[in-house]
C-alpha cells in the first residue's frame, strides 16, 4: 500500500541533490510517496507518480523527524526546587545528580516505565521520531542494568552511563567505583546498550578515568559518546576525538584547540541549548564550530536536573536566538546532525529508501520553528510510515 502526501508548501528533505540545492534540499510545492515504513519517492507535486492513497496537506510544511541523540529519561523524582534555587542565583553542580539517583533507586519498574512513556510521548508529539536514552541514575550493577532494560522497550539507541557521577557510597574510594563501572556493571550493561558515555567534567570523572572507562566499553563492543566541556574547559573533547567517539556533547566551554581537533576528526559536536537555558550557563557560539567545518547536532538533553525539556522546537528557537545558528543550520542539526551523532544513515533525510519519519508543521515554513518560539507547530507526526495518534 503506497500513500502520496501532496500539497506540501515547503518540503525539507536534507538531500542537497533536491530542490534548492542547499543542505536542507528544500522543495517547494512538494510531494512524498511512502511505501510501508520507507520513502518511495520525493519531488515536486507536478511530477508525482500515482499511489494507492492520497493525503493533501493543504500547503503545510514538512520536515524530517527530529533525531534527539541525547536524553536521560529513566528517572524518578523532581528537582524543580533545585531549578528555582538556580534561578535565584545558585550555580549548577554535577552533584545534584545524586538527588535523582536516590529517587530512581526507590522507584519500582512500573513508575519508571510510566515516566519513560510520558516523556517519550512528549518527544514524539513534538516531532521527534528517533531518540537515544541513557542510564545513569542507578549507579549500581542492578540499577544500571534495570534502566537499560526498561529503556530498550522504547528505543534501540540505549547508552550505558554508569559513569555519570561517583555515587555517595563510593565517595571515599573513587577508584573502586571506576573498577565497578568497567567490571561487573559493564558486563551486565553491555548486552543492553549500543553506546557508552562518561560525564567527563568538574565534579564527575577526570580525563584519565574517562579514558579507562571508554577503553573498557570499546573492548566490550560499545561505541563511545561523551559528555564534556559543560562546566569548564578540559581535555574531554579532545579525548572524544582521539577515541573516535560518535559524538561529544555539551561543548559549552570548547576551546579553539578543541574545535580544531573536532574539525580534523570524525566526532560530531552535539550542542544542548536546553542545558545552557536551564542552568543559566554561557551560550556556546555555534558559528565557531560551523565555520571550522565541524558536524554539529542539536539535542534536548532531557533530564530532571540540567535540561527538563522534551521540545526540539524550543531547542531550535534558543539555538537560533542565542547560539547564532541560522534557522536552516539549526533544523539540519536537529535532524541530519542527530542522525550523524547516532551514526544512522536510515534517518535524518527524506530520500528514497530512508525511513518515512517526518513531521507536518502548522506553518508555511520551517523557519517558524524559531520565529514562533513556544508555539506548538507540529501538527502531525509520521513515524515509520504511520501517523502517530495524537
Ligand atoms: O547532560 N551533564 C551530565 N548529565 C546531565 C545532567 C544530569 C542532571 O543534572 O541530573 C546533563 O546535563
Ligand atoms: Fe546529558
Distance CA 320, CA 214 (A): 33
Cα 168 to averaged position of ligand 2 atoms, centre (Å): 20
Q: Residue written as cell 560551523?
A: 290
**Gyration radius of the chain's alpha carbons:** 21
Distance CA 79, CA 60 (A): 38
Give phi and psi for 129, each to the nearest 5. -110, -10
* Domain covering 2-65+348-387, topology: Urease, subunit C; domain 1 (2.30.40)
- Residue range(s) occupied by CATH 3.20.20.140 in the chain: 67-341
What was the pLDDT predicted at 83? 96
**Residue to mutate (ligand 1; options 199, 210, 237, 251; most atoms within 8 A of CB):** 199
Give the pLDDT confidence of 211-254 residue by residue, as tens digits: 999 999 999 999 999 999 999 999 999 999 999 999 999 999 99
What was the pLDDT predicted at 241? 98
**Average pLDDT of the segment spanning 310-322:** 98
Distance CA 299, CA 73 (A): 13
Neighbour-count burial of 248, counting CB atoms closer than 10 A to its CB (0-12 exposed, 13-18 middle, 19+ buried) = buried
**Average pLDDT of the segment spanning 378-389:** 98
Reference 331, options 23, 31, 58; nearest CA is 23
What was the pLDDT predicted at 95? 83
Cα 197 to averaged position of ligand 2 atoms, centre (Å): 9
pTM strictly above 0.85 = yes
Give the pLDDT confidence of 143-188 residue by residue, as tens digits: 999 999 999 999 999 999 999 999 999 999 999 999 999 999 999 9
Residue 99 CA, closest ligand 1 atom number = 10
Distance CA 30, CA 48 (A): 9
**Residue to mutate (ligand 1; options 79, 85, 92, 97; most atoms within 8 A of CB):** 97
- To the nearest whole number, what is the mean pLDDT of the chain? 98
**Residue to mutate (ligand 1; options 69, 70, 72; most atoms within 8 A of CB):** 72
pLDDT over 70 percentage in the chain: 100
Q: By alpha-carbon position, which residue is closest to atom 1 of ligand 1? A: 301
Q: By alpha-carbon position, which residue is closest to atom 6 of ligand 1? A: 306
Residue 231 CA, closest ligand 1 atom number = 2
Cα 204 to averaged position of ligand 2 atoms, centre (Å): 12
Cα 61 to averaged position of ligand 1 atoms, centre (Å): 34
Mapping DSSP to helix (H, G, I), strand (E, B) and coil, where does residue 128 land?
A: strand
Residue 97 CA, closest ligand 1 atom number = 10
Contacts of 96 (CB under 8 A, 6+ apart): 79, 82, 305, 306
Q: Which residues are paired to 363 by β-bridges?
A: none
Inter-residue contact 158 to 193 (CB < 8 Å): yes
Distance CA 148, CA 361 (A): 33
What was the pLDDT predicted at 156? 98
Q: All 3 cell numbers of residue 355?
A: 525511513
Q: What is the 3-state secondary structure (H, E, C) of 36-57?
A: CCEEEEEEEHHHCCCCCEEEEC
Inter-residue contact 225 to 246 (CB < 8 Å): yes
Cα 228 to averaged position of ligand 1 atoms, centre (Å): 11
Helix (H) / strand (E) containing 255: none
**Residue to mutate (ligand 1; options 99, 204, 227, 271; most atoms within 8 A of CB):** 227
Cα 97 to averaged position of ligand 1 atoms, centre (Å): 7
**Average pLDDT of the segment spanning 38-56:** 97
- Residue range(s) occupied by CATH 2.30.40.10 in the chain: 2-65+348-387
Distance CA 94, CA 332 (A): 30
Give the pLDDT confidence of 191-201 residue by residue, as tens digits: 999 999 999 99
Distance CA 40, CA 62 (A): 16
Distance CA 233, CA 218 (A): 25
Does residue 115 register a pLDDT over 90?
A: yes
Does residue 390 register a pLDDT over 90?
A: no
Cα 127 to averaged position of ligand 1 atoms, centre (Å): 23
Q: By alpha-carbon position, which residue is closest to atom 12 of ligand 1? A: 306
Q: By alpha-carbon position, which residue is closest to atom 9 of ligand 1? A: 305
Q: All 3 cell numbers of residue 367?
A: 523557519
What was the pLDDT predicted at 107? 98
Cα 244 to averaged position of ligand 1 atoms, centre (Å): 22
Distance CA 365, CA 188 (A): 46
Task: Spell out which residues line ligand 1, taking CB within 6 angstroms.
Answer: 72, 96-97, 100, 199, 227, 230, 275, 301, 303-307
What was the pLDDT predicted at 93? 87
**Residue to mutate (ligand 1; options 165, 198, 303, 304; most atoms within 8 A of CB):** 303
How many helices, marked H, and strands, marked E, lie in the chain? Answer: 15, 17
Cα 184 to averaged position of ligand 2 atoms, centre (Å): 23
Does residue 94 register a pLDDT over 90?
A: no
Give the pLDDT confidence of 253-287 residue by residue, as tens digits: 999 999 999 999 999 999 999 999 999 999 999 99
User: What CATH architecture applies to the domain 67-341?
Assistant: Alpha-Beta Barrel (3.20)
Amino acid at each position: 500500500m503506497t500513500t502520496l502526501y501532496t500539497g506540501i508548501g515547503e518540503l525539507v528533505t536534507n538531500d542537497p541533490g533536491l530542490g534548492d540545492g542547499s543542505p536542507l534540499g528544500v522543495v517547494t510545492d512538494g510531494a512524498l510517496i511512502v511505501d510501508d515504513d520507507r520513502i518511495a519517492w520525493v519531488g515536486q507535486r507536478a511530477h508525482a507518480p500515482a499511489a494507492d492513497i492520497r493525503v493533501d496537506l493543504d500547503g503545510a510544511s514538512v520536515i524530517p523527524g527530529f533525531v534527539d541523540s541525547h536524553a536521560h529519561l529513566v528517572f524518578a523524582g523532581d528537582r524543580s526546587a533545585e531549578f528555582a534555587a538556580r534561578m535565584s542565583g545558585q550555580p549548577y553542580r554535577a552533584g545534584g545528580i545524586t538527588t535523582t539517583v536516590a529517587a530512581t533507586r526507590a522507584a519500582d519498574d512500573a513508575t519508571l516505565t510510566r515516566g519513560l512513556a510520558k516523556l517519550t510521548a512528549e518527544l514524539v508529539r513534538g516531532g521527534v521520531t528517533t531518540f537515544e536514552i541513557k542510564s545513569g541514575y542507578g549507579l549500581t550493577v542492578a540499577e544500571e542494568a534495570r534502566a537499560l532494560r526498561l529503556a530498550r522497550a522504547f528505543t534501540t539507541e540505549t547508552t550505558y552511563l554508569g559513569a555519570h557521577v561517583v555515587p555517595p557510597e563510593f565517595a571515599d574510594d573513587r577508584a573502586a567505583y571506576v573498577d565497578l563501572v568497567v567490571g561487573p556493571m559493564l558486563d551486565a550493561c553491555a548486552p543492553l546498550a549500543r553506546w557508552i558515555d562518561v560525564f567527563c567534567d568538574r565534579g564527575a570523572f577526570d580525563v584519565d578515568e574517562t579514558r579507562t572507562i571508554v577503553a573498557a566499553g570499546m573492548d566490550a563492543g560499545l561505541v563511545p559518546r561523551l559528555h564534556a566541556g559543560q562546566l569548564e574547559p578540559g581535555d574531554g573533547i579532545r579525548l572524544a576525538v582521539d577515541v573516535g567517539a560518535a559524538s561529544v556533547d555539551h561543548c559549552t566551554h570548547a576551546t579553539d584547540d578543541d574545535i580544531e581537533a573536532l574539525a580534523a576528526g570524525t566526532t560530531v559536536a552535539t550542542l544542548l541549548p536546553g542545558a545552557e537555558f536551564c542552568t543559566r550557563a554561557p551560550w556556546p557560539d555555534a558559528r565557531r564550530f560551523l565555520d571550522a567545518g565541524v558536524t554539529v547536532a542539536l539535542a534536548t538533553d532531557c533530564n530532571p536536573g540540567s535540561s527538563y525539556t522534551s521540545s526540539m522546537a524550543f531547542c531550535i528557537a534558543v539555538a537560533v536566538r542565542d547560539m547564532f545558528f541560522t534557522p536552516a543550520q539549526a533544523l539540519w542539526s536537529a535532524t541530519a546532525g542527530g542522525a550523524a551523532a547516532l551514526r544512522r544513515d536510515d534517518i535524518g533525510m527524506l530520500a528514497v529508501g530512508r525511513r518515512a519519519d517526518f513531521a507536518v508543521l502548522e506553518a508555511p515554513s520551517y523557519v517558524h520553528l524559531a520565529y514562533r518560539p513556544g508555539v506548538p507547530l507540529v501538527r502531525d507526526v509520521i513515524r515509520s510510515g504511520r501517523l502517530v495518534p495524537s
